Amino acid sequence: MQYAILGWDEIYEMCIHLARKVRKSRYSPDIIVGIARGGWIPARILSDIMENPNVANMKIEFYVDVGKTFSQPRITQDVSSSVAGKRLLVVDDVADSGKTLSLVRESLMKRGAAEVRIATLHYKPKSVTKPEYYVAETEAWIVYPHERFEFMRSRTEKMRSEKPREEIKQDFLKMGIPKTAVDEFFDYFSS
């Protein structure tokens, strides 16, 4: 599997580009809906850039591990604001399979949203839902800065029986995960 390890500055720059695309299309959402958990951070940044303090939350559970999902996504926290008659911008980090975004769009339209547009940092060509706005297209497994420990935990569990600890650490460093994060991860889990 190919990995893309991103940093905070890259995420912020991508959010700026995403906001420009929304602005250029002349779409003015009444509410920005961040999809928990990956969409929270870009939704908050877009809220700031676009000067729109109206942010709502919705939680969908689908991924159980790196590259592994439940058979179907499910809503575990419905949208936290009334959306009837509102223009919405749904924000998530990536359109991977697209099933989550499809479920979200369908749910929000059933709740009476006037319009639902989707914005993601990344889009994968295999996705069944293509966002109206996205910054980059990739097929890699993306590791965002807000999920590094989650990623390292998952990979370490899989590699623990095959490789010694120091070799696993070196693998993470070669992937591009910053040394401070790798060191802290192994310090935290060895204590």
3-state secondary structure of 25: coil
Note down the domain range covering 161.
Answer: 145-190
Residue, of 64 and 93, whose pLDDT is higher: 93
Cβ 118 vs Cβ 131: under 8 Å: yes
Percent of the chain with pLDDT over 90: 81
Per-residue model confidence (pLDDT) at position 79: 95
Answer yes or no: do 132 and 52 share one domain.
Answer: yes
Answer yes or no: do 165 and 96 share one domain.
Answer: no
Answer yes or no: do 64 and 99 share one domain.
Answer: yes
Answer yes or no: do 128 and 63 share one domain.
Answer: yes
Answer yes or no: do 35 and 119 share one domain.
Answer: yes
Tally of domains in the chain: 2
| Residues 27-74: tens digit of each pLDDT | 999 999 999 989 999 999 999 999 999 999 999 986 655 555 657 788
Answer yes or no: do 106 and 28 share one domain.
Answer: yes
Answer yes or no: do 114 and 163 share one domain.
Answer: no
Determine the Cα–Cα distance for residues 128 and 98; give it in Å rounded to an integer: 5
Answer yes or no: do 139 and 151 share one domain.
Answer: no
Answer yes or no: do 165 and 139 share one domain.
Answer: no
Phi-psi region for residue 91, left (φ > 0), alpha (ψ -120 to 50) or beta? beta
Residue ranges in 25-164 assigned as alpha helix (H): 40-49, 99-110, 148-159
Determine the Cα–Cα distance for residues 187 and 113; give it in Å rounded to an integer: 47
Answer yes or no: do 183 and 138 share one domain.
Answer: no
**What integer is the mean pLDDT of 71-92?**
93
| Residues 152-168: tens digit of each pLDDT | 998 898 888 899 989 99
Answer yes or no: do 15 and 108 share one domain.
Answer: yes
Answer yes or no: do 75 and 163 share one domain.
Answer: no
Per-residue model confidence (pLDDT) at position 63: 60
| Residues 142-153: tens digit of each pLDDT | 999 999 999 999
Per-residue model confidence (pLDDT) at position 190: 62
- Output the domain CATH number for residue 77: 3.40.50.2020
